[in-house]
Structure 1
Amino acid sequence: MRLPRPLLRLVAGEPVRVDGQELAVEVQALLRLQALAGQERMSADTPEKARTAMSGGLEVVRGAPLPGVQVSRRCVRARSGERDARLYRPTNLTDPSTLLVFYHGGGWVVGDLDTHDELCRFLAKHADIRVLSVDYRLAPEHPFPAAVEDAVDAYEYVLDNAEDLGSSPDSVAVGGDSAGGNLAAVVAQHALANGLKSPVLQFLLYPAVDASTRRRSRDLFGNGLLLTDEDMDWFMDMYQPDRDARTDPRLSVLLNGELEGLAPTVLVTAGFDPLRDEGEEYGRRLAEAGVPVVSRRFPDLIHGFANLFGASPRLREAMFETVGHLRAGLALHSS
């Protein structure tokens, strides 16, 4: 990934241009290498194989643990029992700070605290905040709404124990990537509807927000770009096999007609992502409802880029910009 650009282009092949966008050459090369290794999709014959493949694939692009971040094990009480969590704190951050409750992605089927460890370290260090990464039950062993219940319970636990976590109930944000972004959005909607203290910010990385409709970006980018059309069907069939129930706003948050008053939102999408259009539509709906929204598309990147930032300078650059948006959103809250 760090070859001179002309050599990297030889590895990647001819430029990929779709919908007025050109795929980053580093990403294209990475996808070609993954294809050669037989890792062209996220789904597999069984959930166990998919989980192993995700963990193994991320090991290839993961660097040494980011220095300057203290990590401690925590447990979060939920109706399903105690859920594992990790608290990330920049070592130079000793005063109380904003706490970002983070839900990992993986289609509600794969992913865990380990797969998103590097990302949470990065967010904590460069946003200068505490991050609590929360584990939740995965499908198909625990289908919808198990993940929702765990996500909501974790948020309520954090509100009740914010001081012990180095924050306060007035400084709790929620965030996540992909399916985790979906859970963060669900939590924000739940808080508003049930009279809980709302998060100060929603930090949504290429979130899944509507399981009821097939949009144009899924047809454009549903093959050969890490998250495939087949993957999306596989994940959803595991998580919510009842097609008639996929309009539930605890899954399809875009369909919730009561968006007024939701927390300010930083919403990040990728140009070559089948989830692009639904994520951006959610941003528009929030803005129309009067919610402050910063919506940023990285037109040359793919779904999952936040977990791949160790693979190339371009991906790292995108993550630094993303953290800049996170910092700006939190600064507006504190001002």
Structure 2
Amino acid sequence: MADFSKFGYPSREWQEHVAKYGPAPEASIGKVPALAIQRSMNAGREEASAKQMKIEGLSSKVDIQTILIHARDNFLIPTRIYKKTGTSYSDRPIYVFYHGGGFVYGTLDSEDAACSRIVVAMDIIVFHISYRHAPRHPFPEAHNDALDAFNWIMENGDAFGGDLGNVVVGGVSAGANLACHVVLARNAALARDYESDEGAIIKGLVLVTPWLVVNKEKISYDEFATEHNASRVQCSNAPVVSSKVLDFFVNCMGEEVHNNLDVDPDVGLVSGNKLRGLPSTTIMVAGSDPLRDEALLFARNLHENDVPVHVHVFPGLPHGFRRFDDLPSSRRWDELVVEGIKWSLSDDTMTYGSELSLNVV
């Protein structure tokens, strides 16, 4: 029986952060309109990213270009491309990135620092896709944008110096859900002998504190030692992202998230035959996160279906802890994203052993 509850208790690192800075601020859910919360959160994220760009000197190290990609309904999807300054780019690996924010928060500007760090750390081109957000754009618009933009990059990424034979896809939280959706859709397309982007090869998947099951009523607790120890229960009042916050996000997504038969938002529950053939996958998990267990169970399912998996667990830290720059683990977060991309691009992605191994950070 599964029991990952030992990872859920606040770590000394988190306790010291709270003692110094106070509890993590809560979103004003139920007090102000959803769009007002969205504007406030986006402004804060953009300010934090701009600050880090300046502090870390990233602006002078990275060339940034913004393009617009046509969606299926002719909406223009803002997409930002990051390359290391002063480098002649041709045949560089591609990292396609989807930001987090519960399908509600996030902008192009809010991810400049995160994407720039990757480019500075390794020889790669990053494409950041800023999909449409709820509540103005309910489900499945974000998922459609994610796939439409990805397909365009797979047909045109070489024009920007990218190597379509070396592609890694990744995301944070809701963005990890989109990354999974895209890779699963491509796998299904290849199974149908779809060859319009025959030269494109996805080498890896990087899922950071992923939100893999949107419809919580579909979660079965039969696999757990006790329901109380399951993360959705144990961490229901966790800081940063609690059950209340998750419910807010789902409500913003609209009724189709429960009823749509064409797009499955619960990528963490897909059957084993759909997982076979997926690329090597890195999964980073926060221990004090309601979403912890579905990520770990997904990792186990990947492993059992012969997908190479690296799992890194940060015990006692909440979902999205990277926003707190003072945490030593925030720097390790950045390093593991880069390590995950490099691992997928390497030839050393074999799966060893019958049991899934967890790296406790």
Structure 2 length as normaliser, TM-score? Answer: 0.79
| C-alpha distance 23-326 of structure 1, shift in aligned 2 (>3 A) | farther
By how many angstroms is 1:110 displaced?
1.2
d(CA) in 2 for partners of 1:191, 1:42 = 38
1:90 lines up with 2:84 in the alignment: yes
d(CA) in 1 for partners of 2:260, 2:15 = 33
By how many angstroms is 1:85 displaced?
0.9
Q: How many residues align?
A: 316
Matched-pair contact (CA < 8 Å) for 2:115–2:128: yes
Q: In the alignment, which of 89, 99, 102 is matched to residue 104 of structure 1? A: 99
Q: In the alignment, which of 18, 40, 43 is matched to residue 53 of structure 1? A: 40
What is the aligned partner in structure 2 of residue 162 from structure 1?
Answer: 157
| C-alpha distance 213-247 of structure 1, shift in aligned 2 (>3 A) | farther
d(CA) in 2 for partners of 1:234, 1:301 = 22
| C-alpha distance 214-94 of structure 1, shift in aligned 2 (>3 A) | farther
CA deviations over 1:102-135 (Å, ceiling 9, x no partner): 1111111111112222111112221331111111
Mark the runs of 5 or more structure 2 residues left unpaired by the alignment: 195-199, 222-229, 351-361
CA deviations over 1:202-251 (Å, ceiling 9, x no partner): 11111111123276112222224100110101101111435743787620
Q: In the alignment, which of 216, 230, 238 is matched to residue 244 of structure 2? A: 230
| C-alpha distance 250-244 of structure 1, shift in aligned 2 (>3 A) | closer
Secondary structure of the 1:105 match is: coil
What is the aligned partner in structure 1 of residue 211 from structure 2?
Answer: 208
| C-alpha distance 150-60 of structure 1, shift in aligned 2 (>3 A) | closer
Secondary structure of the 2:171 match is: strand
d(CA) in 1 for partners of 2:262, 2:305 = 20
By how many angstroms is 1:33 displaced?
7.3
Matched-pair contact (CA < 8 Å) for 1:249–1:256: no
1:252 lines up with 2:252 in the alignment: no
RMSD over aligned Cα atoms: 2.8
CA deviations over 1:172-202 (Å, ceiling 9, x no partner): 2211100000000000000010125552111
CA deviations over 1:272-324 (Å, ceiling 9, x no partner): 1111111111111111111111111111422113344x334332133223322
| C-alpha distance 299-322 of structure 1, shift in aligned 2 (>3 A) | farther
Q: How does 1:289-304 map to 2 (within 5 A)?
A: 289-304=305-320
What is the aligned partner in structure 1 of residue 287 from structure 2?
Answer: 271
Higher alpha-carbon deviation: 231-240 or 206-215 = 206-215
By how many angstroms is 1:56 displaced?
4.2
d(CA) in 2 for partners of 1:329, 1:267 = 12
d(CA) in 1 for partners of 2:287, 2:130 = 28
Higher alpha-carbon deviation: 79-88 or 297-306 = 297-306
d(CA) in 1 for partners of 2:14, 2:125 = 30
| C-alpha distance 293-324 of structure 1, shift in aligned 2 (>3 A) | same
Secondary structure of the 2:335 match is: helix
Matched-pair contact (CA < 8 Å) for 1:198–1:263: no
Secondary structure of the 2:81 match is: strand
| C-alpha distance 70-276 of structure 1, shift in aligned 2 (>3 A) | same
| C-alpha distance 141-154 of structure 1, shift in aligned 2 (>3 A) | same
CA deviations over 1:24-60 (Å, ceiling 9, x no partner): 44544555677668x2247463232222332344335
1:217 lines up with 2:231 in the alignment: yes
The one-letter code of the counterpart of 1:262 is L
| C-alpha distance 220-191 of structure 1, shift in aligned 2 (>3 A) | same
Q: Percent identity?
A: 30
By how many angstroms is 1:20 displaced?
5.2
Matched-pair contact (CA < 8 Å) for 1:103–1:181: yes
What is the aligned partner in structure 1 of residue 357 from structure 2?
Answer: none
Matched-pair contact (CA < 8 Å) for 2:27–2:37: no
What is the aligned partner in structure 2 of residue 261 from structure 1?
Answer: 277
By how many angstroms is 1:270 displaced?
0.9
| C-alpha distance 179-243 of structure 1, shift in aligned 2 (>3 A) | closer
Matched-pair contact (CA < 8 Å) for 1:41–1:227: no
Q: How does 1:153-192 map to 2 (within 5 A)?
A: 153-192=148-187
Matched-pair contact (CA < 8 Å) for 1:240–1:246: no
The one-letter code of the counterpart of 1:77 is H
d(CA) in 1 for partners of 2:162, 2:349 = 13
Matched-pair contact (CA < 8 Å) for 2:10–2:316: yes
